[in-house]
Structure 1
């Protein structure tokens, strides 16, 4: 039982008990005080030992009815003290049953009293019952909200952990793919080029040995070695080319390619300001920066009528920040997020980044992404 309800319960016993001593004339005040103290004892037993006992609850209701009927005065108020104990504690059907029992006991104990007592006692009874019911619902709603909040927080932690595991898995897959490609190339060099070079060495040694006696045969063998060396050089060049992707695949999602295309197509002036020491980004990070810059510039031209765009890249140890601002018209008031802005935000949050929008003198979209660099 809450401390506030406990204090209220004993006040609802003490105040009517003291007031009735002055309002009524009893044959023996000692006997009256004894029964009031006995009622306190029953209430305390229910609070400490018989918390869920239906039998003790019935004893308290009957005892309070007998006190009210025997000593009159304001003792009908102690019914409300009992009401505080079972409305928050028992199930709905049990509460309704005891409400009916207590209401009957209350009205029976008021026999011989004036009609105003009946009206006042019943009105207070129903008012307090409704108030307690509302308090119980509020408390239950609070518990439900706290449980929901804990569940959402736990799911947030699980999603964050899953995202980190996914990023770690992506890095491992990338490293494994690179390792597999290196192993494949090393096998190609060993199996094809290595064996071919060994064969050519043996042919050259044989040609050198027979040239003093068979000049024409030796020259023929050296010519064959020359031709096969040409083939080996071509094989070596093709293997080296596999180690380095072509320029188109390397620059498909670079800001330079984006700026070049937009300048030709839209005729817009784009300035780039790079701060910090640039370093190589994961392809996924470069793709997100490319798409967000593309969307921000497209929105600036379409919605703001911009003619000039400034892109600022800040390379930091653990994150990279890209701000795209334009000289177009700045929206007034709160603007709803469109599909483009929502896509930019979702791409950024997917790898733990964030998207910020500021509308001061210029409309600026800032993308902040973690780089997951190993600096040691």
Structure 2
């Protein structure tokens, strides 16, 4: 039991007991004090030893009813002291049953007293019962909210860990792809260029031996070596070019390429505002920004009839923010998300980002992505 609740419990025993001693005339105050101390002892036994014993609770209720019936006065208030001890301990049906038993005992103990005492005692009983039940419900709701919060926090940690594992997996896949490509190129150099160079070396050595004896035959072999060296050089250049993608491949999913294509095809004016110091993004982040901007601009043209689009990029230390707004018509209300908007949101959340939609002066779609620099 909480300290404040414990103090309130014993205050509801002590004050009515002392007040009744002055309000009523008892044959023996010593006997009265003895029974009050006995009630204290029963209350302490319930608090320390028989905490959840229903039979001990019923003994306390019966004894408090006998005290109230025998000594009159304000002793009926000790019923409220007992009420403080079980409304937060037992399950709902048992609480209601015990409340009914206590209410019956309270009214039986008030026999012979004035009707005002009946009304006052029952009114206080119901008010206190409702207050305690409400407090118990609030406490239970608090516990439930804490449990939900713990579950959400645990799920957040699990989601964050899964996102980090996904990023790590993406890096591993990228490394494996690079390793496979390097192995393929190394095999190609070894199998084609390596063997060809060995053959050319052997032909050159043979030509050097033959040249002093048969000059024409030696020059023919050296000419063949020269021609094959030219082919080998072309093969080497081709292999080196494969190691570095061309500019078109590197810029397939950049905003510049998107702007150029849309301006050419759709005849729409696009303005870009870059804030902060730009830095290199992971290909996955650049792809998400590209696709989200593409979808936002396409929706602006298709649904809003926009002729001008503003793209704002904000580079920050731990995140990048892209806002795409247009001068098209605003929708009458926030309708259900379509496939395009859902795809934008799913792409953003896949790596821990967020997607926001605002309809103030212009329809604006904002993508916020963590950069993991």
Q: TM bucket by the smaller chain?
A: 0.7 to 0.9
Structure 2, gaps ≥5 residues long: none
Map of 1:291 onto structure 2: 291
Map of 1:222 onto structure 2: 222
Give distance in 2, aligned partners of 1:41 and 1:280: 77
Map of 1:338 onto structure 2: 337
Measured against aligned partners, the alpha-carbon deviations of 1:75-109 in whole angstroms (never above 9, x if no partner) come to 22212221221222123454345334434433443
Give distance in 2, aligned partners of 1:19 and 1:275: 77
Map of 2:77 onto structure 1: 77
Give distance in 2, aligned partners of 1:223 and 1:237: 21
Measured against aligned partners, the alpha-carbon deviations of 1:249-271 in whole angstroms (never above 9, x if no partner) come to 43332222211221122211123
Corresponding pairs, count: 372
- Residue 33 (structure 2) pairs with residue 33 (structure 1): yes
Greater Cα offset, 284-293 or 343-352:
343-352
Give distance in 2, aligned partners of 1:289 and 1:369: 9
Give distance in 2, aligned partners of 1:227 and 1:350: 54
Q: Structure 1 residues 255, 81: CA separation in 2 closer, same or farther (over 3 Å shift)?
A: same
Measured against aligned partners, the alpha-carbon deviations of 1:134-162 in whole angstroms (never above 9, x if no partner) come to 33233222211211111111111110111
Q: Structure 1 residues 320, 67: CA separation in 2 closer, same or farther (over 3 Å shift)?
A: closer
Alignment of 1:16-165 (within 5 A): 16-114=16-114, 117-118=117-118, 120-122=120-122, 124-165=124-165
Give distance in 1, aligned partners of 2:353 and 2:57: 60
Give distance in 1, aligned partners of 2:35 and 2:128: 25
Measured against aligned partners, the alpha-carbon deviations of 1:101-120 in whole angstroms (never above 9, x if no partner) come to 43443344334345554555
CA apart distance, 1:170:
0.9
What TM-score results when the alignment is normalised by the length of structure 2? Answer: 0.86
**Alignment partner of 1:270: what SS?**
strand
Structure 1, gaps ≥5 residues long: none
CA apart distance, 1:218:
1.7
Give distance in 1, aligned partners of 2:36 and 2:108: 20
Give distance in 2, aligned partners of 1:154 and 1:76: 50
Greater Cα offset, 354-363 or 166-175:
354-363
Map of 2:206 onto structure 1: 206
Give distance in 2, aligned partners of 1:114 and 1:99: 23
Alignment of 1:331-370 (within 5 A): 335=334, 338-339=337-338, 340-357=340-357, 363-370=363-370
Map of 1:182 onto structure 2: 182
**Alignment partner of 1:189: what SS?**
helix
**Alignment partner of 2:84: what SS?**
helix
CA apart distance, 1:317:
5.1
Greater Cα offset, 113-122 or 59-68:
113-122
- Residue 287 (structure 2) pairs with residue 324 (structure 1): no
**Alignment partner of 2:193: what SS?**
helix
Question: RMSD in angstroms over aligned alpha carbons?
Answer: 3.0
Give distance in 1, aligned partners of 2:318 and 2:110: 79
**Alignment partner of 1:14: what SS?**
helix
What TM-score results when the alignment is normalised by the length of structure 1? Answer: 0.85
Give distance in 2, aligned partners of 1:91 and 1:276: 60
Q: Structure 1 residues 109, 279: CA separation in 2 closer, same or farther (over 3 Å shift)?
A: closer
Give distance in 1, aligned partners of 2:313 and 2:206: 63
Alignment of 1:166-181 (within 5 A): 166-181=166-181
Q: Structure 1 residues 62, 316: CA separation in 2 closer, same or farther (over 3 Å shift)?
A: closer
Measured against aligned partners, the alpha-carbon deviations of 1:276-299 in whole angstroms (never above 9, x if no partner) come to 555443221111111121122223
- Residue 278 (structure 2) pairs with residue 270 (structure 1): no
Greater Cα offset, 136-145 or 275-284:
275-284
